[in-house]
Amino acid sequence: MVFVMDHCKTGVYDNALAQIRKAYKFIEIDENTVKLLESPKEIFMASLAVRMDNGKINVFPAIRVHHNDILGPTKGGIRFHPDVHADEVKALSFWMTFKCAIANIPFGGAKGGVAVNPKSLSLRELEHVSRAYMEAMADFIGPDKDIPAPDVYTNETIMGWMMDEYNQITRKQNPAVITGKPINLGGSQGRRVATALGGYYVFRELVKELGLDKNITIAIQGFGNAGKNMAKFLHEEGYKVVAVSDSHGAAYKKDGLDITSIAKAKDARVKGMPSKISLCDHCEGATEMTNDTLLELDVDVLIPAALENQITKENANNIKAKMIIELANGPTTKEADEILKKKGVTVVPDILANSGGVIVSYFEWVQNKYGMYWTEDDVFKKLEEKMMTSFSQVFHSMKKHKVSMRTAAYLVGLKRIKEAIEAKGGHEWLSK
């Protein structure tokens, strides 16, 4: 497991801790609580041995991290990506703890992943990796312990395979063990677009607060599930999305892109498999550029919806957008955050902006528990209420303490976690 632990992509967890430490001085908090918050509760690692189509065995490093479960069973996605490593997954589980606290849902934070390039796998190999992950993690998760969900390069088909594997292992029907499943396996209406829709609700409220109109220009880095659906919502509401990108590159068109046709082209893939289609091939009249160039475009709003550490000290001074909506997890480094603050850029942090996914995952878990299911309109209405409340509390905290929206969000979450730790009492310490 050296590959996962010692991959060169490090420092993500330090970046996460640097973000919360800015909030400590605004709240009374003792060192024991700080220790609990800054240390993951437990980490499980495994090697997944999978027989490939050519008959050979490949071994893929896998990991699952439980950061904190003071508010309830842990919750967090599973990503399939060649750069998955422990430092990253620890950070992602940390952010999930605070997403759940800010949204005021009864979950703690978790995250998991497999170091694999899913685009290099056949459909059969992808299913075997998915089932192998669940087989390895079966004792570490459960509907009342840790509930996984989709993340980067995983989707509802993969969640369905994993749920089926867990059910075979436990010899029970456990729909609540995983969320983001297909509808016919107990998935929730609206889950597929939840992250993007939650981000759109936050965007809409901030636009109102800042007094902006629909003439603003928007660039979106990343055209996976979250980025694609965010682009569609904005396009349908009359906003001008002038640039989008995927792993192959970016496309820019000053007068706005035809998001509907681009999304349709990207969706043309084998069910369950990540898209191998380049959106650059389907953006008529657009200028091709790199993902890095997209970040520095002269637009009003930038929406990073790809991976971590995209906005750094190297490019933050070149960012021209006045508003950033972090639909990705951890797209801004701590150094870049300071630069953007000095430039007067309004940054809506990931732990608020992309919390729609975990909120509707919570709704799915509740529906599975009760065996009663809501309509899409019901789900969207409940999501909107949650996002509006979270935004209002964070925005109020920002104004009250005169801090960035990121620090304000951590303050909202930190207060709830601190109160839960204090309410739990001293059983753990008295028994030592």
E strand intervals along 322-400: 323-325, 346-348
The strand pairing partners of 134, in sequence order, are none
- Name the active-site residue from 111, 240, 266, 415: 111
Q: What single string gives the DSSP state of each residue in 225-248?
A: HHHHHHHHHHHHTT-EEEEEEETT
Q: Which residues make beta-bridge pairs with 60?
A: 48
The whole-angstrom separation of Cα 274 and Cα 155 is 8
For residues 177 and 167, what is the distance between their CA atoms, to the nearest angstrom? Answer: 9
Query: How far is the C-alpha of 357 from the C-alpha of 336, rounded, in Å?
Result: 26
Q: How many residues does the chain have?
A: 432
Q: Residue 281 has what DSSP assignment?
A: G
Give the distance between the most distant pair of CA atoms in the chain.
69
Q: What's the rounded Cα separation, in Å, for the pair 251 and 102?
A: 35
**Locate tokens 């068109």: which residue?**
253
Closest CA to 19 of 94, 74, 126: 94
Q: Which residues pair with 324 in a beta bridge?
A: 302, 347
Spacing of C-alpha 241 from chain mean position? 22
By CB neighbour count within 10 A (0-12 exposed, 13-18 middle, 19+ buried), where does 135 fall?
Answer: middle
CB-based contacts of 95, cutoff 8 Å, min separation 6: 16, 109, 329, 330, 350, 351
Tokens of 289: 């550029």
The 3-state DSSP class for residue 164 equals helix
Residue 400 annotated among the catalytic residues of the structure: no
The sign of the torsion formed by the CA atoms of 91, 222, 278, 151 equals: positive
Spatial distance between the Cα atoms of 132 and 51, rounded to a whole number of angstroms: 11
Q: What amino acid positions are annotated as catalytic residues?
A: 111
